[in-house]
Chains A and B, each alone.
Chain A
């Protein structure tokens, strides 16, 4: 069966080979064309459109092509916007620090303390699986834990540690940060684990032989070599937090704001040009942050 199927290809091979020579130079362009077309249509074009629309005029019913800068002066001139941006950056900084700390130690434990590859893979999968389930469900799952009558509060009250349920566990900035760390730590674990696994173990041994203590090995050998992984994890976490609206909305119960949530509210009021101006400002901010991180690390070399 297979032989019968293969025969025509073999017979065609001389022409095929000659064709490969002439096609050779074009092949990578043909192979990359689908990716380029899809990203062009659904990433580049929409972003260009947003930049264009951000200069348009609008009222409650429609948008009108124009060249106005009022959308930008509205965005940048409002105290609320600045506060929202600061709040978003604050979330990004806190979540970044926490995920980096947790992510590094989890990855370090997996890479340097688990001895068999099979066990490493199993434990790594245990960390990965929740990432492949719904973010919203994972947010909702904190309600029975943190709520007024939730697990933590009822335990604390039962043990007599607090006289009445703590109010700030759910629907607060604390809950937002907790949920974000819950959702995004894996984005830090994976790239750091990847770089740690590639560290040549003889370097660690050499440092030990030269008399370095455990902490010195960690601080002077492992952490410097793990920096590229930390940088990639940072890109993920920072961009995800900067773009977040659902976690802030669900977990703060509407008491906190983020830039993306502000955009979403403008969009639901059909104020697209205002949302577009906001989008441009947010995009520039995020791309500047990423460009800054990319100066430290060359992603193509780290893959």
Chain B
């Protein structure tokens, strides 16, 4: 298999794959370039000069809603969701390693959380808060709404991780006299650390970009995606692209940092 000659099939599929990557990144790079549009330029090519005008525009309060505030809210909310997703998914993953009553029901509830349309969850949480007499806010109702989106991903990933996890390591640790807590901290945790970092990345980015579930649950103050969604209907200058560039670059940095962390943890484990 490994050293056959490349067939025609390979070249056709390689071209198809290249087109797919172009399809994924082409439009994104278009707005990246256009966000440096000159002051007199519009929403499409050609560039009328190159400037940072639209980035500067971004930080003026009146031109685009409350960019700084909504960014800060999305960031904090993303971190909250990330921490809870990692902890709760890990615990649930551990629970699913054993048989317990309701395990199947809970598993399918998690799957349901993934397939129930976002807007229904948004509406439901909105109505519950209204009937109970609580005011929806990004750190209560939207927080819960985001968790219904990130937790199933986290739980499914942990489920897959523990499916492939050999209990031999834990048995060995126990035979050497380790307590169950020691086994968990010194054996299990280091082995699943890269997956946990991955779950954290999912938790953060899914929350940071989520808006269908935030629609009815964010309360008075918008998160960043809601702010951007509002802008799509009433902003007709490249400031929209500048915002897109800034948030996309931020997402890329988060992904890079995560990959770096996974590689670092992996290498440290290899050295140990």
Binding site for B on A (CB under 8 A): 6, 9-10, 12-13, 16-17, 20, 27-29, 31-32, 34-36, 38-39, 41-47, 49-50, 53, 102, 105-106, 108-110, 113, 115, 123, 125-127, 129-130, 132-145, 147, 149-151, 154, 182, 185, 201, 204-205, 214, 235-236, 239, 242-243, 245-246, 250, 260, 263-264, 267, 272, 275-276, 279, 282-283, 286-287, 290, 299-300, 303
Tell me, in angstroms, the Cα distance from A12 to B115 when the chains sit together. 45
Tell me, in angstroms, the Cα distance from A129 to B255 when the chains sit together. 8
B179 in contact with A132 (CB, 8 Å):
no
Q: Which residue of B lies closest to A214 (CB)?
A: B9
Tell me, in angstroms, the Cα distance from A139 to B96 when the chains sit together. 38
With both chains docked as a complex, state the minimum distance between the C-beta of B252 and any C-beta of chain A, in angstroms. 7
B127 in contact with A132 (CB, 8 Å):
no
With both chains docked as a complex, state the minimum distance between the C-beta of B155 and any C-beta of chain A, in angstroms. 7
Q: Which residue of A lies closest to B202 (CB)?
A: A132
- Chain A neighbourhood of B30, CB < 8 A: 141, 144-145, 151
Which of A9, A115, A133, A236 neighbours the largest number of chain B CB atoms within 10 Å of its CB? A133
A303 in contact with B156 (CB, 8 Å):
yes
With both chains docked as a complex, state the minimum distance between the C-beta of B157 and any C-beta of chain A, in angstroms. 9
With both chains docked as a complex, state the minimum distance between the C-beta of B18 and any C-beta of chain A, in angstroms. 10
A286 in complex: contacting residue of B115, B145, B180, B216, CB < 8 Å: B115
With both chains docked as a complex, state the minimum distance between the C-beta of A19 and any C-beta of chain B, in angstroms. 10
A260 in contact with B247 (CB, 8 Å):
no
A46 in contact with B117 (CB, 8 Å):
no
A141 in contact with B209 (CB, 8 Å):
no
Does residue B121 face the partner (Cβ distance < 8 Å to A)? Answer: yes
A132 in complex: contacting residue of B144, B201, B225, B229, CB < 8 Å: B201
Q: Which residue of A lies closest to B101 (CB)?
A: A29
The 19 sampled A-B contact pairs (Cβ below 8 Å) are A31-B92, A35-B151, A36-B106, A38-B88, A38-B148, A43-B109, A43-B112, A49-B124, A50-B120, A106-B16, A106-B17, A123-B17, A127-B21, A129-B255, A133-B28, A134-B228, A144-B44, A239-B115, A239-B117
10 closest A-B pairs by CB = A46-B124, A243-B117, A31-B95, A42-B144, A141-B27, A32-B95, A28-B100, A303-B160, A137-B244, A109-B13
A136 in contact with B211 (CB, 8 Å):
yes
B248 in complex: contacting residue of A27, A137, A142, CB < 8 Å: A137
Binding site for A on B (CB under 8 A): 1-2, 7, 9-10, 13-14, 16-17, 20-21, 23-28, 30-31, 34, 43-45, 84, 87-89, 91-92, 94-96, 98-100, 102-103, 106-107, 109-121, 123-128, 131, 144-145, 147-148, 151, 155-156, 159-160, 163, 177, 179-182, 201, 205, 208-209, 211-212, 215-216, 225, 228-229, 232, 240-241, 243-244, 247-248, 251-252, 254-255, 259
Tell me, in angstroms, the Cα distance from A187 to B119 when the chains sit together. 19
With both chains docked as a complex, state the minimum distance between the C-beta of A301 and any C-beta of chain B, in angstroms. 9
Tell me, in angstroms, the Cα distance from A53 to B120 when the chains sit together. 13
- Chain A neighbourhood of B21, CB < 8 A: 126-127
- Chain A neighbourhood of B254, CB < 8 A: 132
Q: Which residue of B lies closest to A56 (CB)?
A: B127
Are A300 and B107 CB-contacts (below 8 A) given A109-B17, A235-B115, A275-B123? yes
Q: Is the interface of A mostly helix, strand, loop or mixed?
A: helix
Tell me, in angstroms, the Cα distance from A9 to B212 when the chains sit together. 47
B124 in contact with A13 (CB, 8 Å):
no
Q: Which residue of A lies closest to B105 (CB)?
A: A36
Which of A43, A49, A204, A303 neighbours the largest number of chain B CB atoms within 10 Å of its CB? A43
A105 in contact with B13 (CB, 8 Å):
yes
- Chain B neighbourhood of A143, CB < 8 A: 43-44
Are A45 and B120 CB-contacts (below 8 A) given A137-B31, A201-B1? no
- Chain B neighbourhood of A142, CB < 8 A: 27
Tell me, in angstroms, the Cα distance from A6 to B155 when the chains sit together. 30
- Chain B neighbourhood of A185, CB < 8 A: 20
Tell me, in angstroms, the Cα distance from A138 to B252 when the chains sit together. 14
A132 in contact with B251 (CB, 8 Å):
yes
- Chain B neighbourhood of A47, CB < 8 A: 116, 120-121, 124
Are A16 and B180 CB-contacts (below 8 A) given A35-B91, A113-B13, A214-B9? yes
B205 in complex: contacting residue of A16, A132, A151, CB < 8 Å: A132
A263 in contact with B123 (CB, 8 Å):
yes
B124 in contact with A141 (CB, 8 Å):
no
B148 in contact with A42 (CB, 8 Å):
yes
Are A6 and B27 CB-contacts (below 8 A) given A46-B128, A286-B115? no
A286 in contact with B14 (CB, 8 Å):
no
Tell me, in angstroms, the Cα distance from A42 to B112 when the chains sit together. 12
- Chain A neighbourhood of B118, CB < 8 A: 243
A46 in contact with B44 (CB, 8 Å):
no
A43 in contact with B123 (CB, 8 Å):
no
- Chain B neighbourhood of A303, CB < 8 A: 156, 159-160, 163
With both chains docked as a complex, state the minimum distance between the C-beta of B55 and any C-beta of chain A, in angstroms. 15
- Chain B neighbourhood of A126, CB < 8 A: 21
- Chain B neighbourhood of A239, CB < 8 A: 114-115, 117
- Chain B neighbourhood of A205, CB < 8 A: 1
- Chain A neighbourhood of B201, CB < 8 A: 132
* With A27-B98, A43-B116, A144-B45 already in contact, 4 other A-B pairs whose C-beta atoms are closer than 8 Å: A9-B181, A20-B180, A29-B100, A141-B27
